[in-house]
Amino acid sequence: MVDIALLESDLTAAIAAAGSADALEDVRVRALGKNGSVTALLKTLGGLSPEEKQTKGPLFNGLRERVTAALGTRKTILEAAALDVQLAAERVDITLPAATVPVGRLHPVHRVMDELTEIFADLGFAVAEGPEIESDWHNFTALNIPPEHPARAMHDTFYFPADANGDRKLLRTHTSPVQIRTMMSQKPPIRIIAPGRTYRSDSDATHTPMFHQVEGLVIDRHITMAHLRWTLETFIKAFFEVDDIITRFRPSFFPFTEPSAELDVQCQWGGGELKVGEGSDWLEILGCGMVHPKVIAACGLDPTEWQGFAFGCGIDRLAMLKYGMTDLRAFFDADLRWLKHYGFSFLDVPTLSGGVGA
């Protein structure tokens, strides 16, 4: 006859001694497995008389329940201990000074994009994106530049080989296709900027085949050129960190805006340095205008209900003007000495309150 008390104290001791999940599982199998000691006891119940069953049944079942509970408790303890070991091993000391970590620098273009985002976010603009490999329709046709339109020739477009249907994809020549994608995927009112890469087959000290633009688009009811002018002046003031600037609109032409204008900012060049807001020179900053009704209609919106303005601005040039680099090609040489000199710390986040260039 098995000594139940002895069996229980043996098992309890084995459970307490189990130092790992595997060891505990061994004890469980020895007690409650198919050939386990407790299981064997329970199996004997079948051959007992009804009277014996009445006394032994609760005894054996009680044993099984206590052993099961002890196994569970031990399991929880072992799991907590294992987690502690893991947490201790994976601990990261966030109090380590960042200066001891080797840091890279943010490219001035990246920096200017962050500044633009900060300035326009404050004016209620969201950031929109579009693909750099674009369809001809988004890049040209929907922007009121139909096939054979002379404006296409001005864009020095990189085309991909035509597909089976004769359609040629292209590298977007400007960020204006994001206007189309945004109007087709969002309901007005719309206020977005779209910074990103653009491509034209052009290369000299002020042109690189890949360059950066930021598009701006506002679509709402009752939008006028006055809203455009104010928005651009507010942007230029914040970007160049000057309170008083004089801007002028020069009449221009873009197929996707009517009327169209270019924005110039009053400036002065002295000793190779640019001062914005004083002097007698003019700096060309960007192209803009009221979104052409045909463009609004091409996106499925009713131009008698919705109108707005758009602008497009070269980011690389903005960076050169603000931070004093003279050769655009150096932007894309990946020369570490240049990056170290002109780059920014990633900890130095632009904020409006600190001045976005601070």
Beta carbon of residue 103, minimum distance to ligand PHE (angstroms, whole number): 35
CB 173, CB 157: distance < 8 Å: yes
Say if residues 160 and 179 touch (Cβ distance below 8 Å).
no
Closer to ligand PHE at the Cβ: 27 or 263? 263
Using alpha carbons, list the distances in angstroms from residue 210 to 199, 321, 325, 333: 5, 18, 17, 12
Position 172 contacts ligand PHE (CB under 6 A): no
DSSP class of residue 222 equals S
By the rule CB under 6 A, 239 interacts with ligand PHE: no
Q: Which residue, 66 or 197, has its beta carbon nearer to ligand PHE?
A: 197
Interface stretch with ligand PHE, choices 47-55, 57-65, 132-140, 285-293 (CB under 6 A): 285-293
Instruction: Tell me the closest approach of the beta carbon of residue 162 to ligand PHE, in angstroms.
Output: 24
Structure tokens at 274: 């640019």
Q: Which helix (DSSP H) or strand (DSSP E) does residue 292 occupy?
A: none
Number of residues that bind ligand PHE (CB under 6 A): 10
Q: Is the C-alpha dihedral spanning 138, 195, 122, 103 positive or negative?
A: positive
Q: Is the peptide bond before 189 cis (omega within 30 degrees of 0)?
A: yes
CB of 156 to ligand PHE, least distance (A): 12
Minimum distance of ligand PHE from residue 217's CB (angstroms): 8
Q: Per CB under 6 A, which region of 56-64, 202-210, 263-271, 284-292 contacts ligand PHE?
A: 284-292
Q: Is 308 a residue that touches ligand PHE (CB under 6 A)?
A: no
- Is residue 152 at the binding interface for ligand PHE, with CB under 6 A as the rule? no
Residue 218 to residue 128: CA distance in whole angstroms? 12
Among positions 120, 240, 254, 342, the unique one binding ligand PHE when judged by CB under 6 A: 254
- Tell me how far, at minimum, the Cβ of 169 lies from ligand PHE, in Å: 19
The region of 222-230, 266-274, 306-314, 331-339 touching ligand PHE under the rule CB under 6 A is 306-314
Please check whether residue 219 is in contact with residue 308, taking contact to mean a CB–CB distance below 8 angstroms. Answer: yes
Could you give the CA distance from residue 215 to residue 127 in angstroms, rounded to a whole number? Answer: 10
193 contributes a contact to ligand PHE by CB under 6 A: no
- Binding to ligand PHE by residue 288, rule CB under 6 A? yes
**Neighbour count for residue 218 (Cβ, 10 Å):** 23
CB 124, min distance to ligand PHE, A:
19
Complex with ligand PHE: residue 74 or 172, whichever CB lies closer: 172
Residue 103: which residues within 8 A CB-CB, separation 6 or more? 345, 346
Q: Cα–Cα distance between 57 and 38 in angstroms, integer?
A: 12
The amino acid that residue 136 corresponds to is D
Which residue is nearest to ligand PHE, using beta carbons? 312
Note whether 196 binds ligand PHE by CB under 6 A. Answer: no
Q: Which of 178, 285, 289, 195 is nearest to 233 (CA)?
A: 285
Closest CA to 197 of 209, 182, 181: 209
DSSP 107-124: -HHHHHHHHHHHHHHHTT
Whether the Cβ atoms of residue 180 and residue 138 lie closer than 8 Å to each other: yes
Q: Which of 312, 315, 322, 344 binds ligand PHE (CB under 6 A)?
A: 312
Identify the residue among 174, 191, 237, 317 touching ligand PHE (CB under 6 A): 174
Q: Quick one: which of 310, 321, 328, 339 contacts ligand PHE (CB under 6 A)? A: 310
214 versus 276: smaller Cβ distance to ligand PHE? 214
Contact set with ligand PHE (CB under 6 A): 174, 176, 254, 257, 287-289, 310-312
